[in-house]
Amino acid sequence: MKKSSTLFFAVFLCGVISANVLGIASGREFGAINEYFINRYLYADICGRELFLYLFYERVPKIFLLLFLSIGIYGTFIINGYICYLGFSTGFLAVIAIMNYGIKGVLLMMGFFLPQWIFYVPVIAIWYLGLKRYKGIRTECVSADRRGNDPIRYVILFVIGAVLLLLGIFMESYVNPFLLQKIIRFLK
């Protein structure tokens, strides 16, 4: 887990550097952080139930695809690639938010990621640690009987991960829009 945290922050730094190299001009037009979107979001009437269904059908198939791909021989590469994607995206977006809104951009970035990432990060950690256990990539040497390849353990991890994912989707669809609108009102 320490290696993946280091990887995340190294790629986060690359995202920060990339956003600075591309400059403010491209940052002002960048997706969800531009003025037009923020102003429109402030007055949007967001239906949590519809957003929940949209996010469910958006997130769950991608998670299952990542789980399926990570079981193969390139599993750790898939997880590390996803962690790199998250780190680069977060670093890039953080710089764009700070370029557009100054120090208040940090608050805006927190609004984009909270509270759903409180549940998504443990899902990624369970996925990472479960795969390491599944593949036997551990530092201690134990016998095959005590290695922990018990199917019940993986079912329990899968259920815990699924519940956390659903809680994250719930938070993203019901709590995050309300929180983000409050933050945008504060920024104005």
Separation of alpha carbons 20 and 91, rounded Å: 10
- Token pair for residue 132? 């390491």
pTM tops 0.75, yes or no: yes
63 contacts 122 by C-beta, under 8 angstroms: no
CA nearest 93: which of 66, 112, 120?
Answer: 112
Separation of alpha carbons 169 and 119, rounded Å: 9
42 contacts 184 by C-beta, under 8 angstroms: yes
Number of neighbours of residue 150 by Cβ within 10 angstroms? 11
Report how many helices (DSSP H) and strands (DSSP E) the chain contains, helices first: 9, 0
* Local confidence pLDDT in tens for the 188 residues of the chain: 678 888 999 999 999 998 888 765 555 565 667 777 888 888 888 898 999 999 999 999 999 898 888 887 788 888 889 999 999 999 988 888 888 888 888 898 888 898 999 999 999 888 888 887 777 754 455 555 555 557 788 888 889 999 999 999 999 999 999 998 998 888 87
Helix H or strand E segment including 80: helix 75-101
